[in-house]
Amino acid sequence: MEISVLLPFVPSTTAQVDAAAKVLRHCAISRVWQGESTRLETYQHLAAVLPHIGQVGIAVSLMPLRHPFQAAAQARSLAAQTTSPVDIAYGPGSVALQRALLGETYRSPLGTSRSYLTSVRRFLDDTSAGGSGLAHLTHAPVRLGLGVLRPGMAAVAGEFADFAVSWMTPPAYLEDTIRPALRSVNTSSRTRLVTVVPTVLAATGRDLVELIVAGSRAHLQAPHYRDMLRRGGVALGDDLHAIAGGLIAAGGCLAGSMADIQDGIAAYERVGVDELVLNVTGVAGALGVPAGLKDLIEITHHAAAGSTTCPPLEAS
């Protein structure tokens, strides 16, 4: 299983990303992931710091923000500036986002996601000079994914995507629900499973539950995440701290001592996760980005020393 990290803040300047990337190069990780940024445009700032990052992924790029043609153009522009594969996962976003940007919600998020991913791939593959294809451009491979929380989207990913990205999903839920759904349409599916997991390393004065809530507050309140958590056996209610405690107990967060975190990493490896993405946004947001980066360095070096190994990230 590969170990990667999520950039633990929403950037306002390329200098912020540049400084963090230079630190993350020394972690024993495969890739740096970034979510959709509503401050500095995601593709632009990743391109600006790509020499210091090397291998990147975006999870997720929100479909309502980009026509599939523009999504393909941005993906290959990023891939043209590296020799390593670029991983980009797409997702329909929340119902509120769809309504705000499009004036209405998607009639079928599954059907729209299937159509969107197919269109992006077609634009990437069509390099004819005429028509609506993109002009030929030499670039590294672009691997297309879908954000996945529930079995319906997992089935679409298993049929059409190179990889699926889940977020805050307990290991047992991945094993019992998501993994089978990835193969439900195509039993020979080789769709990779990437999982982003909120991570808090225990230290004096730290409230683990509070830091999980700090980094995942929006997710813990979003209807589609709450439905996933319910399916995954996490008790819901109005108390976000109680939900976060239940999520920790279910293994959907890595929170505790270094031994606890390494045990949690091993649990994800046992259920067949191909790439685990450590998310320390709670620590970085509450205690400062340097504290989050320090945790990532410590955790990834411990992971690399164990059975889950991964070479240090190299710049391209």
Mean pLDDT, residues 201-207 taken together: 95
- In-domain check, residue 314: no
pLDDT attached to residue 75: 95
- In-domain check, residue 171: yes
Q: How far is CA 173 from CA 62, 135, 177, 180, 226, in A?
A: 24, 43, 5, 10, 13
- In-domain check, residue 22: yes
Domain region containing 44: 2-305
CB–CB of 222/216 below 8 Å? Answer: no
pLDDT attached to residue 132: 66
- In-domain check, residue 250: yes
151-193 tens-digit pLDDT: 999 999 999 999 999 999 999 999 999 999 999 987 777 899 9
**168 residue type, one letter:** M
- In-domain check, residue 276: yes
CB–CB of 29/299 below 8 Å? Answer: no
Portion of the chain with pLDDT greater than 90, in percent: 73
Assess whether pLDDT exceeds 60 at residue 307: no
- Tokens representing residue 255 in the block: 């929170």
- In terms of DSSP H, where are the helices of the chain? 14-24, 42-53, 68-79, 95-102, 109-125, 151-160, 171-173, 179-182, 208-221, 223-231, 240-250, 258-270, 281-287, 289-305
CB–CB of 4/31 below 8 Å? Answer: yes
**Binning pLDDT at 50, 70 and 90, where does residue 311 land?**
very low
In angstroms, the CA 166 to CA 35 distance is: 13
CB–CB of 211/286 below 8 Å? Answer: yes
Give the length of the chain: 316
- In-domain check, residue 311: no
Specify the pTM.
Answer: 0.93
- In-domain check, residue 313: no
Q: Count up the domains in the chain and report the number.
A: 1
In angstroms, the CA 214 to CA 191 distance is: 32
**Binning pLDDT at 50, 70 and 90, where does residue 314 land?**
very low
In angstroms, the CA 304 to CA 59 distance is: 24
96-130 tens-digit pLDDT: 999 999 999 999 999 999 999 999 999 998 766 55
Count of CB atoms situated within 10 Å of the CB of 129: 7
- In-domain check, residue 316: no
In angstroms, the CA 162 to CA 158 distance is: 8
Residue 123: CATH number of its domain: 3.20.20.30
- Tokens representing residue 81 in the block: 């500036």
233-286 tens-digit pLDDT: 999 999 999 999 999 999 999 999 999 999 999 999 999 999 999 999 999 999
pLDDT attached to residue 39: 87
